[in-house]
Amino acid sequence: VLEMPNKKDVSTAVVHRLARYYRCLLDMKNRGVGRVSSKILAEVMGLTASQIRQDLNCFGGFGQQGYGYNVDNLIHEIAVILNLDKGHTAVVVGAGNLGHALLNNFNFARAGVRVAGAFDTDPKLIGTVVGGVTIRAIGELEPFVQSYRPDIAVLTLPRIHAVPVAELLCQAGIRGFWNFTSADLSLPSITVPVENVHFSESLMTLSYRL
Amino acid sequence: VLEMPNKKDVSTAVVHRLARYYRCLLDMKNRGVGRVSSKILAEVMGLTASQIRQDLNCFGGFGQQGYGYNVDNLIHEIAVILNLDKGHTAVVVGAGNLGHALLNNFNFARAGVRVAGAFDTDPKLIGTVVGGVTIRAIGELEPFVQSYRPDIAVLTLPRIHAVPVAELLCQAGIRGFWNFTSADLSLPSITVPVENVHFSESLMTLSYRL
């Protein structure tokens, strides 16, 4: 039996690719695909088959030579590696246009995350329900985090408020930030992981390809 | 004089890293940094100094041993490589919450892109101005693209409309798609580059790190 590597040993690039595998495999499953070769997965993902075998062998190698990967099994194994089976919960901080777009359209459940609450300063928004989640006053955020211990704060608030709110949430016990603002949270006062969403990088990649 | 490699020779991973370098270097420039070593750039980006030297040497190597990179020069050279100096124009297709969020808050100019128009089906939105751009009726999209030849279509419309609208835009002469919908545009009828924005991959990466 091969051992799963220590979490610390897996590079960021591999983790990003695992997330891409997961998304592609879910799409395949939804189209009724039950088994996939590394060759086909490579074509879909724009990688080489040997890269894929190397990545998946990192985690014990779920494939069989000449037989391919069982899609369901692979989805399950990657979910375990990425902690998608942990029942993580999130609060959405800022229910403006971007917060609304995420609450209404983003499939948090597909990434294994449940939205436990959403918060805004706008009195017109407080009390309304967006994507099944009631918007609460920002003043309730800190006691909510202390009481319910959500794992993730989704930062969709104005950039200028991002740092003080993130510091407050760290103190209150949040475990990680999904940061949609352009604020830089790599500060000594922010002691938990931050995943920044940088739209501009993907737009620049497209520019290159035009 | 070292030659710039053919565009086809540069891997997607390198292009993504160049976009990250560009963003980090702009931040440094804004903080008044004029020169940076590969060691410091490596620390900021979470890469190794040798990875950075290898990436930048791909394009002729702008650094000097023991002296570092001139931030302004490097920004300029990367902009040229990524086509950020080409004056690309874009249309935003769909001015709902996500379209609004991008028009109001995303710095298109920083990625070298100018928004030439935005389009929606909602009569309440048509004629309003969002982020300095007037929202037009979706019926005007095809003639607008044929007349003004924008390079990029930003797809922030409902998923179910993404494929037919993208096919129409291809026919009308669009050169690339920045796709925020979860629709799969890897179809024979879509003959131009597509850059998909997959929020879920970044959320899953965060889950791993919690």
User: Could you give the ipTM of this predicted complex?
Assistant: 0.89
Residues of A in contact with B209 (CB under 8 A): 15, 176, 193, 195
CB–CB contact B7 A208 (8 Å): yes
The rounded distance, in Å, linking the Cα atoms of A157 and A160 is: 8
Q: Does A208 touch chain B (CB under 8 A)?
A: yes
- Please check whether residue B115 is in contact with residue B135, taking contact to mean a CB–CB distance below 8 angstroms: no
**SS3 of A31, please?**
coil
Which among A101, A176, A198 is the nearest to B210, CB-wise? Answer: A176
In a 13 Å sphere around the CA of A162, the CA atoms on its Cβ side amount to: 20
- Please check whether residue A58 is in contact with residue A5, taking contact to mean a CB–CB distance below 8 angstroms: yes
Residues of B in contact with A18 (CB under 8 A): 204, 208
Provide the chain A residues 178-207 that lie in CB contact (below 8 A) with chain B. 178, 182, 184, 193, 195-207
Q: Does B110 touch chain A (CB under 8 A)?
A: yes
Model confidence pTM above 0.95: no
Helices A159-172 and A141-148: angle between axes, nearest 10 degrees: 40
Q: Does A20 touch chain B (CB under 8 A)?
A: yes
Measured in angstroms, the CA of B136 and the nearest CA of chain A are apart by: 19
Residues near A167 by beta carbon (within 8 Å), at least 6 away in sequence: A187, A189, A190
Per-residue pLDDT of chain B (210 residues; tens, 9 = 90+): 344 445 545 677 788 889 989 988 998 999 999 999 888 888 888 788 888 888 877 665 566 666 788 899 899 999 999 999 999 999 999 999 999 999 999 999 999 999 999 999 999 999 999 999 999 999 999 999 999 999 999 999 999 999 999 999 999 999 999 999 988 898 999 999 999 998 998 999 999 999
